[in-house]
A and B are shown apart, each in its own frame.
Chain A
Amino acid sequence: MSEKAFVIQSSPHFQDKDSVPKIMFTVVIALLPAIGASVYFFRLRAVGLYFSCVVASLVTEALFLWIRKKPFHSLWDGSAVLTGLLLAMTLPPTLSLELAVIGSVVAVSIGKQVFGGLGYNIFNPALVGRAFLQTAFPVAMTKWLPPATLVVDTATYATPLGNLKFQDAVLQGTLTPLKQLLWGNTGGCIGETSAFALLLGALLLLTKKTIDWRIPTGIFLALSAFTGIFWLASPDKYASPLFHILAGGLMIGAFYMATDMVTSPIYSKATWIYALGVGIMIGLVRLFGGFAEGVMYSILFMNTFVPLLNRTFRPRILGEWRKTA
C-alpha cells in the first residue's frame, strides 16, 4: 500500500518540552547571582576554584562514561557541571586548587558514578566530595579568609558560625550583624556567604517549580523551631533563628543541595519528613555538635533515608480504602 516507513512508538505521542538538561541548566542559571557574589567577595580565588572544580568534574564524568561504555550525551545533561559548581561554592577560599580537583574527582566518581551514574546515587555528589575533603584535609578545609571587601585581622578570622560557637559571640556581643550576613560581606565558603544572591536564584527555581518548595520550607521551619526554643529560653546565650537561617551554608543547602531531585524523596509526604529531619539535624549540630556548621552532614544523613522513605510512602491510589456505596 504505502512505501513510506512510519515511526512506531508507544503512546503518548505528545511530550512536554522540559528535559533533564534543561532542569540542570536552570539550576546553573539560578546559581549565577551567588557565583557573581562569590567572585566579588573572594576575587581570583573563587574563579580558580570554580574553574578547577568544573573541569575536574567534567573530565571525571567523561572518563567514567568511557570506562562504563555509556553514551556520551549524558556528559551534557548538566549534572557534572552542576556538581562542580556546587562543590566549589562549598569550599573555603584558601583551599589549594589541587585539593579542589581531588574533591571534584571524588564527588563525581564516588559520589555518583560508582552507584551507576546520574539518577542512581544515594548521596548528593557535591557534598560527598566536600565531606571527603573535610575528613581528609580538616585543617585546609577550615582555614578562613575574610572577603576582599572587609578589612579585619586575617590571622584570627573566623566565620560567623565559628565565631558564635567557639568565641562566645553572643556573650561578647561580637555576633556578625544580620545585614552583613544577608549581603554576604563575611567569611565562609565562597558560594554560601551571600544569602541575598542565593535567594534571588531560589526565587527562579521556585517559580519554575524546578525545586520542591516543601524542602526549603521544611528546613526553615524545623531549624527555626529548634533554635527558636533555645533562643527564647536564654537569648543571652543562643543566637536567633534568623541568624541561623542567614549564616553559614543554610541557604545554599536548603535551596540547592537538599533539593537535589535524585537524593530527595519523590512523594510529598516523605519530602516533609526528609526536610524537617534536615532542619532538626542542622540545629542539633550547630547547637550541641562538635562542628560549628552542620548543613553538609545533616543533608548527607537524611539522604540515607531517602530510599527507605521512597519505599514506605506512596500516594493513596484513587479508589483505595475508601469505598462509597
Chain B
Amino acid sequence: MKTKTFPHGIHPPERKELTSEKSLEFFPPPEKVVIPLHQHFGNPAEPLVKKGEEVFLGQKIGEATSLFSASVHASVSGKVLSVDGHNHPLGKPVLSVTLANDGEDRFHPALSGTEDPLSLDPDQIRQKVKEAGIVGLGGAAFPTAVKITPPKDKPIDTVIINGCECEPILTADYRLMMEHPDEILLGAELVRIATGADRILVGIEDNKKEAFGLLQQKAASYSAEVLLVKTKYPQGAEKNLIYALLGREVPRGGLPFDVGVVVQNVGTAKAVWDAAKTGKPLYERALTVSGNGIKEPKNLNVRLGTPFQSVIDFCGGLTEDVNMIIMGGPMMGLSQWVLDVPVIKGTSGILAWASAKPITEFACIRCGRCVEHCPMGLMPTQLMKYVKYEQLSDAENWGALDCVECGSCQYSCPANIPLVHWIRLGKNQIMSQKRKKSA
C-alpha cells in the first residue's frame, strides 16, 4: 500500500520502544487530587463546589459558562479540601479544586448512559460531549463540543481520526488503538453523525503497523476507512494530516471546517463514545510516562488532577541525574519546574531525562534547513529576524501567525537558535497589537 504524506517535515529519533509494548495500566487514584478549572483552550470554568462539600466521582465541579470553555468533573469521590490557586503545568497558578479521595469511587447517581448511542441525533451527541467536558486529547485541548458543531455554511464531508502520534516517545494513543479499537471507531461514528459527514478516515503512521492492521480489520463493520501515512514529524498536525489524506489545504488563518473536515484524536473519539454509552465524563486519560530518566516507563490510565510526583513514583521514580521534566511530547511539550502540578486533560505524556549541558547558540548562517523542513512553508529564520528587530508587520506578512510551533525548524537548526521561542514571542506581540487596535 502506498503511504500518504505531506511535504517537508523531519525524522527525529522515535524512542517509542520504551513503552510501545506495555499495556495501559490502571493507576490507582491517589489520596488527593488537584483539579484545575482551566485545562483547555479558551476560558476557565466557573467553580460549582465549596470547601467541605462532598462530591461524587464524575460530578461536575466546574461549569463552562462560555462557548470556548469546557466543564470540569471530579475524578474521585470525596470531600472538597479547598478551592484555591495551585501550580499548573502551563506555568501560571490556576484556580483549582482540591479533593480528598474517600477511596470509594462512588459514581454520580445522576449520570446515565444510553442503550444505543448510535441512535442519538446530532444535538443530543453534542450535548453529551459538552456535559462530559470533552476536549481534544491530542494535546491542544480544544473543546470538542465546539469542534463538532460546524457552522451552517460550512458543510462537513469527512471526519478524520488522528492516530498518527507523531511525537517521539509517546505511545498512549498506540495503546488505545490496540486495546480499544471498537470504542474509537464507535466514537468516530458519533462524531460523523454529529457533524453530518459522509465518511470517516483514520490516519495511522506506518511505524504502528499492528494498530493499522487491527483497526483496518475492525473498520469494515463501521464504514470507516483506515489509511497508512508515512512516519514523519509532524504528520499528526491537523493541517498536515488533512493535506496528507485528502490533498486539501486549510486556508491561511482558517480552520478544518473551511475544507469540510473535522479532525479528532483517537483518545477523544474514545472519550466521546464512553460519554454517550455510559455517561462517563472526562475525568481520566491515557498517557505515557517515559524517557530514560524514568525507572519503569509505562502507559497509564490516570485520573485527572493526579500530581506528577505520584505518577512518577508509580513508575519507579526518577533516576539520579534527571534535570528535565516535560509534559507532552519532546517536540511540543512544556518543561516543568515542579512536580506538584496535576495531570490535566492535555497531558499526553510525562517525560523525564538528563539533558546534556546547555547547548551553544551560534549565529544563523542562513543554511536554510529551517525553510527546508517547515511543514507550513514558512521561513523561520526570517521570521526570527523580523521579531528580533521588531519588524512585526513583516513578521505577520511572512506568516508568523501560520506557525504551528511544531519545532521542526529548531530541531534542524545547526546554530541551535531557539526559533520557536522567537516566533511564539512574535505571535504574542502581533496578537496584543491587534487587540489594542480593536479595543
**Using a CB–CB distance below 8 Å, which chain A residues touch chain B?**
1-2, 4-16, 18-23, 73-74, 77, 117-120, 212, 261-262, 264-267, 310, 314-320, 322-325
Contact = CB atoms under 8 A, between A and B. Distances in A.
A12 B365 contact: no
Contacts of A117: 363
Interface string B411-425: 111111010110010
A20 B366 CA distance: 11
B379 A12 contact: no
A267 B379 contact: yes
B217 interface: no
A12 B332 contact: yes
A11 B420 contact: yes
Interface of B: 10, 12-13, 168, 239-240, 243, 248-252, 254, 258-260, 307, 309, 322-326, 328, 330-340, 355, 358-360, 362-368, 371, 374-379, 381-382, 398-399, 402, 405-407, 410-416, 418, 420-421, 424
27 contacts: A2-B309, A6-B322, A6-B323, A7-B335, A7-B355, A7-B358, A9-B335, A11-B331, A11-B332, A11-B333, A11-B405, A12-B410, A15-B410, A16-B12, A18-B412, A19-B362, A19-B416, A267-B379, A314-B382, A317-B402, A318-B376, A318-B377, A320-B251, A322-B249, A324-B248, A324-B249, A325-B260
Closest 10 CB pairs of A and B: A12-B407, A119-B363, A10-B421, A1-B340, A20-B362, A266-B368, A315-B377, A261-B367, A12-B331, A319-B249
A316 B336 CA distance: 36
Contacts of A212: 368
Given A23-B367, A314-B379, A317-B376, 6 more contacts: A10-B420, A10-B421, A16-B412, A266-B381, A318-B239, A319-B239
Given A118-B362, A320-B252, A266 B382 contact: yes
Nearest to A70: B363
Contacts of A316: 377
A83 to B, nearest CB: 13
Contacts, number: 171
Given A5-B323, A266-B382, A315-B379, A14 B330 contact: yes
Nearest to B248: A324
Given A77-B362, A315-B371, A12 B330 contact: yes
A250 to B, nearest CB: 23
User: Which one of A6, A14, A265, A318 has the highest number of Cβ atoms from chain B below 10 Å of its Cβ?
Assistant: A318
Contacts of A120: 363
B337 A119 contact: no
Contacts of A320: 251-252, 377
B360 A13 contact: no
Given A14-B168, A318-B402, A320-B377, A267 B367 contact: no
